[in-house]
């Protein structure tokens, strides 16, 4: 199981290229299946969380506050400015802004684990940014891209709540009251999450094959620039404030690896133009590749990941 999960960037790359060559292999995974799939991923994250895991937030709230502020300020600004620099069409511009306004994704927790960083802090920050994102993500998207395409704020709020808060909360409740069941399930949840992420990405890339080829290098480079700058700026700001390399690495991974799956679902459920979901799908591919590279760059000595 762990071997399969550890190779998730490889699976994303292989399935994405397969989707470009043979879109019909993955076109069946669409519509409500994508929404349901992301809900299952978030449920799996909830199953790994306990109330005690969040003691870190009470002991060192400064860390989380700094991370969340960077998450929802630096990334949305980068998303907006990059759409201007690369002069993306409106639908793709909204898609890039959308993914830049999303909270951190569960993939960041995998990279933190593989890099021997502070996994508990990574999971906590993912959860807090996800909860904050229920309000902040729709508001940011509305204010930044509202002049490009009419944005349904209520729809974005409802979608975010449905696919994020409810599954995560349910997972935490199940973990608390059904520990034996949870213990059996969390063995499989990482592998299930990887498989679903791969299917979501492949499905959207396959569906948007023509749009991707038409947009070409411009779209790909805009997504690559967004995530690369997110990693770099996230680390620099975190280190300047915290003066702690391990914490700064953990935070920058969280910031650089957006919840692209959520971006896909928000785009699919709230925008008519299917190309709006394309940047989120490419985002998942790009940040997975970056993440695998940063594992070798960021890898710490294998010591306790508890934050003292």
Domains defined along the chain, listed by start: 2-298 (1.20.1530.20)
In the predicted model, what is the mean pLDDT of residues 164-176?
Answer: 85
- The helix (H) or strand (E) run that includes residue 266 is helix 260-270
Reading the block at residue 43, the tokens are 């449920």
Q: What local confidence, expressed as pLDDT, does residue 145 receive?
A: 77
Q: What is the DSSP string of 48-98?
A: T--GGGGHHHHH-HHHHHHHHHHHTTHHHHHHHHHHHHTT--HHHHHHHHH
Give the residue among 291, 251, 223 at the shortest CA–CA distance from 70. Answer: 251
Q: What local confidence, expressed as pLDDT, does residue 21 receive?
A: 92
Q: What does each C-alpha distance from 49 to 13, 18, 96, 213, 296 come to in angstroms?
A: 29, 34, 30, 41, 27
Q: What local confidence, expressed as pLDDT, does residue 300 receive?
A: 59
Give the residue, 20 or 151, on which the prediction is more confident: 20
In the predicted model, what is the mean pLDDT of residues 251-275?
Answer: 82
Q: What local confidence, expressed as pLDDT, does residue 305 receive?
A: 43
Dump pLDDT digits (tens) for 151-163: 566 766 677 677 7
Q: What local confidence, expressed as pLDDT, does residue 75 receive?
A: 94
What's the burial of 137, exposed, middle or buried (CB within 10 Å: 0-12/13-18/19+)? buried
Number of H helices, E strands in the chain: 18, 0
Give the residue, 145 or 97, on which the prediction is more confident: 97
Q: Are 205 and 283 in contact (CB under 8 A)?
A: no
| pLDDT band at residue 269 under the 50/70/90 scheme | confident
In the predicted model, what is the mean pLDDT of residues 243-248?
Answer: 90
Q: What is the DSSP string of 9-59?
A: HHHHHHHHHHHHH-GGGTTTS-THHHHHHHHHHHHHHHHT--GGGGHHHHH
Give the C-alpha separation, 64 to 73, whole Å.
Answer: 14
| pLDDT band at residue 148 under the 50/70/90 scheme | low
| pLDDT band at residue 308 under the 50/70/90 scheme | very low
Terminal-residue alpha carbon distance, the chain: 30
Query: pLDDT at residue 299 above 80?
Result: no
Query: pLDDT at residue 150 above 60?
Result: no
Q: Are 174 and 182 in contact (CB under 8 A)?
A: yes
Give the C-alpha separation, 160 to 158, whole Å.
Answer: 6
| pLDDT band at residue 139 under the 50/70/90 scheme | confident
Give the residue, 145 or 25, on which the prediction is more confident: 25
Dump pLDDT digits (tens) for 185-225: 888 888 888 888 888 888 888 887 887 787 778 888 999 99
| pLDDT band at residue 81 under the 50/70/90 scheme | very high
């Amino acid at each position: 199981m762990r071997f399969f999960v550890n190779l998730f960037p490889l699976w994303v790359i292989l399935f994405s290229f397969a989707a470009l060559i043979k879109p019909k292999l993955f076109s069946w995974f669409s519509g409500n299946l994508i929404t349901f799939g992301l809900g299952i991923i978030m449920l799996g994250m909830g199953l790994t969380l306990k109330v005690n895991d969040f003691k870190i937030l009470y002991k060192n709230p400064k860390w989380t506050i700094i991370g969340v502020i960077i998450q929802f300020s630096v990334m949305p600004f980068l998303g907006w400015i990059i759409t201007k620099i690369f002069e993306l069409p409106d639908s793709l511009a909204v898609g890039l802004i959308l993914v830049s306004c999303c909270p951190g994704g569960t993939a960041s927790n995998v990279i933190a684990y593989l890099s021997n960083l502070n996994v508990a802090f990574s999971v906590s920050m993912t959860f807090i940014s996800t909860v904050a994102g229920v309000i902040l993500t729709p508001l940011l998207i509305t204010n930044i891209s509202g002049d490009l395409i009419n944005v349904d704020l209520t729809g974005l709020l409802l979608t975010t709540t449905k696919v994020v808060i409810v599954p995560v909360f349910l997972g935490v409740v199940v973990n608390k009251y059904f520990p034996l069941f949870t213990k059996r399930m969390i063995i499989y949840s990482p592998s299930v999450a990887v498989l679903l992420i791969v299917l979501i990405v492949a499905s959207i890339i396959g569906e948007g094959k023509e749009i991707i080829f038409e947009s070409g290098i411009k779209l790909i480079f805009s997504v690559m620039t967004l995530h690369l700058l997110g990693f770099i700026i996230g680390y620099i700001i975190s280190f300047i404030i915290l003066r702690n390399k391990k914490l700064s690495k953990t935070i920058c991974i969280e910031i650089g690896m957006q919840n692209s799956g959520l971006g896909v679902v928000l785009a699919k459920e709230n925008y008519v133009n299917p190309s709006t979901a394309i940047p989120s799908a490419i985002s998942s591919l790009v940040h997975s590749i970056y993440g695998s590279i940063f594992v070798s760059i960021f890898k710490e000595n294998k010591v306790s990941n508890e934050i003292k």
